[in-house]
Amino acid sequence: MACKLSKILTESVASLDSDTDIQTTAAYMAERELGSLVVTENSEVVGLFTERDLLKRVVGAGRDANALKLGEVCTRNLISASYDSSCTYAIKLMRRHRCRRLLVYRNDNLQGVINMADVAHALADHSSAKNLLVNFVGGITLVVVLAVIGMLISHIPDMMQLADRTLK
């Protein structure tokens, strides 16, 4: 079974309206321990705001967090993937677009946001499950081979007697 984005989406999507000031946004994100949130206008997704946006576009730029609106500093050229996409496809998409997060849609409905770490962990877990199966089958094969060798060794005295009688 392939690693799918639908399997790793676990939480609801946090969002704020684009006219929310950055000070309120930062407090909201800190209180809920969020690394990102979806930015909306009239209930439509228009952007994504991340901790990185806060550092680069607000704090690092020396802008006033009380006077600045979320819609002014959020990332707007969003990359998305389908709910039933594979984890491998998601990683390739993030690498191609040099982004760390993807919006995941099912039909036209936003289902969640995943980040590169979520996908990497899911791929590692998926790989571990495959390795476990391979190790199990390999272990059973080794036990069977050792049993056959043991059986052959236990019959050496009988084979020696047969060879001795045949050569006389």
Of 134 and 18, the structure prediction assigns the larger pLDDT to: 18
The order of strands in the sheet holding 36-41 is 15-17, 36-41, 44-50
Give the DSSP letter of residue 50.
Answer: E
- Over residues 135-160, mean pLDDT: 80
pLDDT recorded at residue 24: 96
CB within 8 Å of 81: residues ≥ 6 apart? 5, 89, 90, 93, 102, 103, 104, 105
pLDDT recorded at residue 152: 81
Tell me if 74 sits within 8 A of 18, measured CB to CB: yes
Of 57 and 154, the structure prediction assigns the larger pLDDT to: 57
Distance between CA 100 and CA 142 in Å, rounded? 43
How does pLDDT run across 15-30, given as a tens digit for each residue?
999 999 999 999 999 9
Of 17 and 147, the structure prediction assigns the larger pLDDT to: 17
pLDDT of 91 above 60: yes
H-only helix segments in the chain = 5-8, 22-32, 51-53, 70-73, 87-97, 116-154, 156-167
pLDDT recorded at residue 124: 79
Quote the mean pLDDT of the chain: 87
Instruction: Please name the residue that has the structure tokens 């060798």.
Output: 149
Instruction: Please name the residue that has the structure tokens 């391979």.
Output: 134
How does pLDDT run across 94-124, given as a tens digit for each residue?
999 999 999 999 998 999 999 888 888 888 7
The sign of the CA dihedral 47, 51, 57, 59 is positive
Distance between CA 110 and CA 112 in Å, rounded? 6
N residues, the chain = 168
Distance between CA 86 and CA 96 in Å, rounded? 15
